Amino acid sequence: MADANLAQDTRATIEAQIIELRNEMGRLSKSLQARASDAAEEAEDAFETVKARANGAAKTVRRQAHAVSEAIGENPGTAAAVLSSAGVMGLLVGFAAGYILASGSRR
């Protein structure tokens, strides 16, 4: 008889713990859903902000490119001189960097 009462008490304790665990799982699930929803809203807000800034930057680049193309169209000689000078400077910088790297590897 004592074994039957002990078994019944153990079973009742286990069932109570199972109910408590289910309730805790439900609370955790609701908490996770709320956090996931908040994170999704924050991500959406961040995306919209980045999208708006990218659109603004694209408009600025278009305006500047248009201004540059107009300046080149109005002054083709100056544009050619500036671009060729930049090319020569790039070539000289490349040779200098190559010389420095080559002399550093011989040491």
Amino acid 100 reads I
Residues 36 and 50 in one domain: yes
* Cβ proximity of 71 and 79 under 8 Å: yes
Position 87 scores a pLDDT of 95
Residues 65 and 80 in one domain: no
Decide which of 15 and 1 is more confident. 15
Residues 69 and 41 in one domain: yes
The number of folded domains in the chain is 2
Residues 62 and 87 in one domain: no
Residues 69 and 86 in one domain: no
Tens digits of per-residue pLDDT, 20-78? 999 999 999 999 999 999 999 999 999 999 999 999 999 999 999 999 889 888 988 98
Helices (H), 1-107: 2-74, 76-105
3-state class (DSSP) for residue 75: coil
Residues 12 and 22 in one domain: yes
Global pTM? Answer: 0.47
Q: Which residue has the tokens 């659109």?
A: 55
Position 105 scores a pLDDT of 65
* Cβ proximity of 84 and 76 under 8 Å: no
Residues 62 and 101 in one domain: no
Determine the structural domain holding residue 17 and report its residue range.
1-74
